[in-house]
A and B are shown apart, each in its own frame.
Chain A
């Protein structure tokens, strides 16, 4: 057969091939080392010159054409195979079948503290620290709470044996440490654990967490206090949450303000959590009392500042709707894994 006839024959066989292997067999049969077209090309030298040229061209053209046809056929078959695969393969994508990587959790109290601290960081506050065992000076005296002041009644104190040291009842001593070691301008938050000698129940804990804040400079005003705490609450709960500042009393601030936010559970309509008032008391704050500045040898004429403190557990409880504080310290994985 001449090359054209072979090409035609090969073309028919290619069309009949159903798998890449069958295509390959056709290719070998015509273009392989002993293939029919290869044989023609090999035999060219024995032909007379004038025939050799034509037969050569014919055979080469047949080879190129067949190679192209093989390619096309292969591609067609592969895409048909792929299409078949895609059409037939189907898995169950239910999340229950997902590979269960182990995942732990950060304690809700710590998550909340992290979030709060990062908000204050973004407002230019640095993070400070302080000891949990304190002296009377740092916990009370330097904060303008003299011995035998009725204000001490509200902070039942744990003392260490010998009554020389105590467990801090608030993070406010951190303010004193900060001011003793740094000069203004100063913007600092002090997150930490505090202790009150009161029995544990659904809403009280002998141990809880606070975040203390302090800003001191030559020009800090009550308006800055309002602005900063409003910004904080809005970052935490969204800017639609209403706040109110109302007069209160803390020995180490003057004027002092209690900050209430509109109840995040009922939106201010009144519910069990806000005791039907529509408001949640969340922060104590005020302008740093000149006596505190005196205690840390800051010039009370030159500097003003604001301070605030908040109880973290309270936030955690209404943020997650937790109705029993003891759950926070039980460390039950059923509970912890929810956060």
Chain B
């Protein structure tokens, strides 16, 4: 809301600059900025041009002598319009003009100028000007310019929070300042309207209209408003129309209550009926547009049809025009929710609807009507003929009991009762002492104050938040939390980072075609998406990471490793997931310069190794995946299980995806973080005794069918070990040769390290162990020694 600094000063006395005022309002909860200001200069004084001569060295310059009444200056002036006899604005040496422009003694084409004759542009008073500013002939000389210009003002933009509809006017802001400055608000003297109930007003829907004041003024002359009205409206960003409309707006900006003026001759039956619209009833409003109404909307109608959309906008038909002679001034109270719904539905927000939505006050409705009537009679002539104040229910003021002890309980600051009383009284509250505090009658404009805490906020606000001390609560750690929640994910993130993964964060929105690509579907669709790209909620982290992979490859990163954690939205609800995606070399690109190794492309086993490191403290199992997501290569993926629960799937994406991006294998895995975080049983973790006897090492080259997973071979070997025996296996070679071992076979060379915990193994022991292993392998999986 734009307000005028000068106008504000009419309501309350203060001695601060506009900048200072912004600070004070900020700490009252009203964020205020200076929009524009005029008069930002020093040492500019009024003076008369005595003589004007041509500059001997320059055709376009003049030499002037100017007189301030006490001193005569000689000035070089470049403006074409300067003439002897004019009264002008003279910036003397040392003057400061807007834009940090300081006037210094200067020689212009060899002749000294003792100052500058200012134009409106130089003074910041206009964007353009034809030459120097010429002041009226009767302007006194030698005065500071700002003292003779009555158009100087600072325009402030005040941001009003939704609860403070009462501050949406000069009076409203002035009330706040008065409370802060410990002074009273000065309101214009307004004569009360002698209501005689002679104008027919009927309120049909008393749930939506609480009061309707209608005042008939006859014999007005509609014409342009006087300058001071126009100027004030303009300073608030309101365009002047005619004196009647301008006065309603003037009162709006002054007292904050929206008014409307009807041409009574265009009201059928010369009466007002406040009612709900009927379905499909239409009205052409003052903006010239036709609106179709429905039966939830309130209208101001005459005997026949709607003449205004209540609280939102008047109708064109009964609007005030140049030929209007007799008018009705409306000042009413409407239900905020209804006005808001209507305004939203019609997509029509006005100064009036904005205020009614935030709540208007009983007090202001009457005050505004009286003020408008008075101004109209003063500025447009006419006589108040009829006036009606219709209210189905009388106003019931809000009363609140305030306990001083509760003030301290909430604020942590003991505010003396006397101070509380002063603050509340200055805010227009009627305060009665009570043993534990006071009883407060809230003024009708403070609709936001309904409870004890609301009063406490007022006390804190006016007293100043800066006076509330700072304390720190005792720190009591939550032992329960530390027990149940090990920072599993934190560890996982750290390991991923160490392994070269960067964390991505993608939007939770995806579009249909991103899902189709991976044969995914979303069960959550937005009703009001920003755009088609953002209409579904992601069921997987893959589409986002895929997009990131693609763009990073495009950016020239051949090796991309990314991970993301976030919520996905599935048919069984929200899930937190961790996903990894990678492509490129294992170490390759980093090593090329080193000349040590041929770059090796990341493959399934690489991802498998990544997971082994990342999940090193999780007891997980990888299991063959019969029904994998269709984006995986069916022969190159696995399930990951923890405690018998499926944590997720990982593997190589189908080759056609790699082809799309023109890169090598793309590895992907997506896991439920809830499952990853399952307790790994570390509470039962016990150290196992070190085996001090030397191991016996032996390498076995085995031949197995392709279909036998290495995991089952190793399991057979380790299970062969009796209690005191321990066998570690390490794969040292993989070999396949159709001719030598057969096309459906594969050979593994395993390095076995065997030892007992109770004694050194003998040759006999070793032979027996190896024989047992080989027997078991042959029996279980038809695995034999390579010849």
Chain A interface residues toward B at CB < 8 A:
100-107, 109-110, 114, 122-124, 126-127, 131-133, 147-151, 153-154, 158-163, 167, 185, 187, 193, 195, 197-200, 206-207, 215, 217, 219-224, 226-228, 230-231, 244-249, 251, 254-257, 287, 289-290, 304, 328-334, 336-337
- Answer whether A102 and B557 are a contact pair too, CB < 8 Å, given A163-B527, A223-B471, A336-B502: no
Structural contact, B526 and A104, CB atoms closer than 8 A: no
- CB neighbours (8 Å) of B477 from chain A are 124
CB contact between A110 and one of B451, B505, B524, B591 (< 8 Å): that residue: B505
Among B40-48, B528-536, B698-706, B762-770, the one that faces the other chain is B528-536
Structural contact, A255 and B457, CB atoms closer than 8 A: yes
List 18 A-B residue pairs with CB atoms under 8 Å apart, sorted by A's residue number. Answer: A122-B475, A126-B478, A150-B357, A162-B527, A163-B527, A187-B473, A193-B567, A219-B409, A221-B413, A221-B471, A222-B460, A231-B472, A249-B162, A255-B460, A287-B453, A331-B562, A332-B555, A336-B502
Structural contact, A104 and B501, CB atoms closer than 8 A: yes
* Closest B residue by C-beta to A221: B412
Structural contact, B504 and A255, CB atoms closer than 8 A: no
List 3 tightest A-B contacts by C-beta distance, closest first: A102-B500, A221-B412, A223-B412
Distance A328 CA – B468 CA, assembled complex (angstroms): 38
- CB neighbours (8 Å) of A133 from chain B are 524, 537, 569, 574
Distance A252 CA – B65 CA, assembled complex (angstroms): 68
B411 within 8 Å of A (CB atoms):
yes
- CB neighbours (8 Å) of B566 from chain A are 193
CB contact between A151 and one of B162, B473, B493 (< 8 Å): that residue: B162
Which of A101, A187, A206, A246: most chain B Cβ within 10 A?
Answer: A246
Distance A246 CA – B503 CA, assembled complex (angstroms): 37
Structural contact, A256 and B457, CB atoms closer than 8 A: yes
- CB neighbours (8 Å) of A251 from chain B are 163
- CB neighbours (8 Å) of B457 from chain A are 247, 254-256
Structural contact, B162 and A149, CB atoms closer than 8 A: yes
- CB neighbours (8 Å) of B476 from chain A are 124, 185, 187
Structural contact, B475 and A123, CB atoms closer than 8 A: yes
B454 within 8 Å of A (CB atoms):
yes
Chain B interface residues toward A at CB < 8 A:
26-29, 161-164, 337, 340-341, 357-358, 408-413, 451, 453-454, 456-457, 460-461, 465-466, 468-478, 481, 485, 490, 493, 496-509, 524-530, 534, 537, 548, 551-552, 555, 557, 559-563, 566-567, 569, 574, 587, 590-591
Structural contact, A104 and B409, CB atoms closer than 8 A: no
Structural contact, A249 and B337, CB atoms closer than 8 A: no
Expressed in whole angstroms, the minimum distance between the Cβ of B496 and any Cβ of chain A is 6
Structural contact, A334 and B555, CB atoms closer than 8 A: yes
Distance A333 CA – B561 CA, assembled complex (angstroms): 9
Structural contact, A148 and B341, CB atoms closer than 8 A: yes
* Closest B residue by C-beta to A279: B26
- Answer whether A249 and B508 are a contact pair too, CB < 8 Å, given A131-B574, A226-B468, A231-B472: no
Distance A227 CA – B470 CA, assembled complex (angstroms): 4
Distance A257 CA – B26 CA, assembled complex (angstroms): 11
Expressed in whole angstroms, the minimum distance between the Cβ of B96 and any Cβ of chain A is 19
Distance A126 CA – B482 CA, assembled complex (angstroms): 9
Distance A159 CA – B497 CA, assembled complex (angstroms): 36
Expressed in whole angstroms, the minimum distance between the Cβ of A259 and any Cβ of chain B is 10
- CB neighbours (8 Å) of A247 from chain B are 27-29, 457, 460-461, 465
Expressed in whole angstroms, the minimum distance between the Cβ of B160 and any Cβ of chain A is 9
Expressed in whole angstroms, the minimum distance between the Cβ of B578 and any Cβ of chain A is 12
CB contact between B453 and one of A122, A147, A254 (< 8 Å): that residue: A254
CB contact between B410 and one of A101, A162, A222 (< 8 Å): that residue: A222
* Closest B residue by C-beta to A245: B465
Structural contact, B590 and A103, CB atoms closer than 8 A: no
- CB neighbours (8 Å) of A147 from chain B are 337
Structural contact, A331 and B526, CB atoms closer than 8 A: no
Other A-B contacts than A104-B498, A289-B453, 19 sampled, CB-CB below 8 A, are A105-B497, A123-B475, A124-B473, A124-B474, A149-B162, A150-B340, A154-B162, A160-B526, A161-B526, A193-B566, A197-B528, A217-B473, A223-B468, A226-B471, A245-B466, A246-B27, A255-B411, A331-B504, A333-B562
Distance A89 CA – B537 CA, assembled complex (angstroms): 62
Distance A104 CA – B564 CA, assembled complex (angstroms): 12
Structural contact, B530 and A222, CB atoms closer than 8 A: no
* Closest A residue by C-beta to B551: A332
Structural contact, B527 and A159, CB atoms closer than 8 A: yes
Expressed in whole angstroms, the minimum distance between the Cβ of B417 and any Cβ of chain A is 18
- CB neighbours (8 Å) of B408 from chain A are 221
Structural contact, B412 and A224, CB atoms closer than 8 A: yes
- Answer whether A248 and B161 are a contact pair too, CB < 8 Å, given A160-B525, A223-B411, A257-B465: yes
Which of A148, A207, A290, A333: most chain B Cβ within 10 A?
Answer: A333
- Answer whether A222 and B548 are a contact pair too, CB < 8 Å, given A110-B505, A206-B534, A228-B472: no
Distance A336 CA – B498 CA, assembled complex (angstroms): 14
Distance A287 CA – B477 CA, assembled complex (angstroms): 22
Structural contact, B410 and A336, CB atoms closer than 8 A: no
- CB neighbours (8 Å) of B478 from chain A are 124, 126, 187
Structural contact, A104 and B524, CB atoms closer than 8 A: no
CB contact between A107 and one of B162, B499, B505, B508 (< 8 Å): that residue: B505
* Closest B residue by C-beta to A130: B574
- CB neighbours (8 Å) of A167 from chain B are 526
- CB neighbours (8 Å) of A222 from chain B are 410-413, 460, 468
Structural contact, A104 and B561, CB atoms closer than 8 A: yes
CB contact between A226 and one of B456, B470, B501 (< 8 Å): that residue: B470
- CB neighbours (8 Å) of A122 from chain B are 475
CB contact between B502 and one of A104, A197, A231 (< 8 Å): that residue: A104
- Answer whether A223 and B469 are a contact pair too, CB < 8 Å, given A159-B526, A193-B566, A304-B410: yes
Expressed in whole angstroms, the minimum distance between the Cβ of A151 and any Cβ of chain B is 5
- CB neighbours (8 Å) of B501 from chain A are 104
- CB neighbours (8 Å) of B537 from chain A are 133, 160
Distance A248 CA – B460 CA, assembled complex (angstroms): 12
Distance A217 CA – B475 CA, assembled complex (angstroms): 13
Which of B497, B498, B503, B530: most chain A Cβ within 10 A?
Answer: B503
- Answer whether A148 and B508 are a contact pair too, CB < 8 Å, given A102-B499, A153-B162, A222-B413: no
Structural contact, B530 and A206, CB atoms closer than 8 A: yes
- CB neighbours (8 Å) of B481 from chain A are 126-127
- CB neighbours (8 Å) of A231 from chain B are 472
- CB neighbours (8 Å) of A109 from chain B are 505
Structural contact, A103 and B497, CB atoms closer than 8 A: yes
- CB neighbours (8 Å) of A221 from chain B are 408-413, 471
- CB neighbours (8 Å) of B502 from chain A are 104-105, 107, 333, 336-337
* Closest A residue by C-beta to B29: A247
Structural contact, A329 and B530, CB atoms closer than 8 A: no
Distance A247 CA – B26 CA, assembled complex (angstroms): 8
* Closest A residue by C-beta to B482: A126
Distance A110 CA – B461 CA, assembled complex (angstroms): 36
- CB neighbours (8 Å) of B162 from chain A are 149-151, 153-154, 249
- CB neighbours (8 Å) of A226 from chain B are 465, 468-471
Distance A298 CA – B478 CA, assembled complex (angstroms): 21
Expressed in whole angstroms, the minimum distance between the Cβ of B176 and any Cβ of chain A is 10
Expressed in whole angstroms, the minimum distance between the Cβ of B164 and any Cβ of chain A is 7
Distance A24 CA – B376 CA, assembled complex (angstroms): 126
Distance A106 CA – B493 CA, assembled complex (angstroms): 8
Structural contact, A132 and B493, CB atoms closer than 8 A: no
- CB neighbours (8 Å) of B548 from chain A are 331
Structural contact, B530 and A197, CB atoms closer than 8 A: yes
Distance A107 CA – B493 CA, assembled complex (angstroms): 10
- CB neighbours (8 Å) of B500 from chain A are 101-104
Distance A139 CA – B572 CA, assembled complex (angstroms): 21
Distance A195 CA – B470 CA, assembled complex (angstroms): 33
CB contact between A255 and one of B453, B527, B587 (< 8 Å): that residue: B453
